[in-house]
Amino acid sequence: MRIYIDTPFEERHKTALRKGIPDDELIFKEELPGAEAQLQALLTADILLGNPKPVEWLEQAINLKWVQLYSTGFEYYSHIKIPAVITNMQDYYSQPCAETIVAGILALYRGIDLCTRLKDQGRWIGYTIRSEFGTLFQKKVIILGWGNIGRRVATILKGFNCDIIIYSRSSGEAHIHDIEELKPQLPEADIVISCLPGSAQTRGMFTEEMIHLMKPTAIFCNVGRGNLLRNEQALINALHQKKLGGAVLDVTAQEPIPDGHPLWSTPNTILTQHSGGGSSTEYDGIAGFFMQNLDAFKKGNPLKNQIQFDRGY
C-alpha cells in the first residue's frame, strides 16, 4: 500500500516508521520536490497520516481509504466529504493541555512569571513579593466543555479542592447547559477555563459582556480555540484596566501572534503559544498510534478514534 505522510516527523520517527512498516511504500511530504509532487502523492495514496494543507487538497483525495490525522481538532475539514475512514488523536493531547493550563494558573497565583523575570535580572525581592500571591486551593472554577481536556483539568483541580462547575451543551454530567445559565455564574467564578473545540456554536461564544461579568481578581483561560472570544481586544483592555486578574492563553485569535501585537504587552498574562499539547515524546506517540491502527486496518478490524468530519466528533 502507498502511505502518504504529512506530519512534522524528525529522522528518528521516520526510521521507526520505516522499520515498523517494512512492506508498504512510505512517502514523506518533505522528501518530495514540490507542491505538485506532494498533491500527486496524496491523490494516489491508499492511506494518509497527517493534516494536509491547503484544505482543498483533501477534498480531492477520493482514493484514500483511511485518513489518520495527527491532531485532535479538525473543524477546518468539517465540510469535506470523502469516502475514507477518518481517525484522529482524540484524548492524546488532553493531559499536556490540562497541565499547561494549570501550570499557567499556578504561575499567576504563585508568581512564577515574576520570579523568572527577577532571576534573569539577578534581583532578589524576597519578602515583599509574598503579598501579591494567592492560592488555587478551594477556588471556584467554571470549565467550559466537558470533553477529554476538561475532564483532565477537573481531575487535577480536585487535588486543590476546587469547586468545579461544568458547562456543556450536551453532557448530562454538566451543571449548566446554555449561555443564559452561564452568565449568572460568571461573577462568582475565580477561574474560567475554556476547553471547547472549534465549531459554529463556540465561535465568538464568549462575548465582551461575559468578560465584564467576571470578577476583577478572576483568571480567564483558553486551551480550546482562539476564536471563542468574540472580541479579544476587550480581554486585553480588561487586563490592562485591572477589571480582570489574569489570563492563560494557549490559543489566540491570531496564531502566530504577530510582532507588536498588544497581547505581548498585556499584564498578568501567560501566553503558551499553542504548545499545550506538546511533549518531547509527542511524535513518538503519533507514530506508535498510527502503526497500531495500521495493523487493525490491515486485519480489517475497527480503527481506534474514528470520527466524521461533518458530524464534528
Within residues 263-282, the interface with its own copies by CB under 8 A covers 264-265, 269-275, 277-280, 282
| Distance in angstroms (rounded) separating the CA atoms of residues 11 and 274 | 24
Which of 4, 283 has the CB closer to its own copies?
Answer: 283
Q: How far is the CB of 8 from its own copies (least distance, A)?
A: 7
Distance (Å) of CA 200 to CA 205, 251, 310:
9, 17, 12
Give yes or no for a contact between 2 and 24, defined as CB atoms under 8 angstroms apart.
yes
Task: Please tell me whether the peptide bond between 256 and the residue prior to it is cis, using omega within 30 degrees of 0.
Answer: yes
Which of 66, 289 has the CB closer to its own copies?
Answer: 289
What is the DSSP secondary structure assignment for residue 53, as one 8-state letter?
Answer: S
Which of 121, 170 has the CB closer to its own copies?
Answer: 121
Within residues 146-185, the interface with its own copies by CB under 8 A covers 155-160
Cβ burial, residue 133 (10 Å; 0-12/13-18/19+): exposed
Binds its own copies by CB under 8 A, chosen from 260, 299, 300, 311 = 260
SS3 track for 1-16: CEEEEECCCCHHHHHH
Which of 45, 51 has the CB closer to its own copies?
Answer: 51
What is the DSSP secondary structure assignment for residue 260, as one 8-state letter?
Answer: T
**Would you give the binding string for its own copies spanning residues 75-114, x where CB under 8 A is met?**
--------------------xx--xx-xxx-xx-xxxxx-
Three-class SS state of 176:
strand
Which of 182, 250 has the CB closer to its own copies?
Answer: 250
Give yes or no for a contact between 188 and 165, defined as CB atoms under 8 angstroms apart.
no
Q: How far is the CB of 292 from its own copies (least distance, A)?
A: 20
- Residues interacting with its own copies, by CB under 8 A? 8, 95-96, 99-100, 102-104, 106-107, 109-113, 115-120, 122, 124-127, 129-137, 155-160, 255-261, 264-265, 269-275, 277-280, 282-283
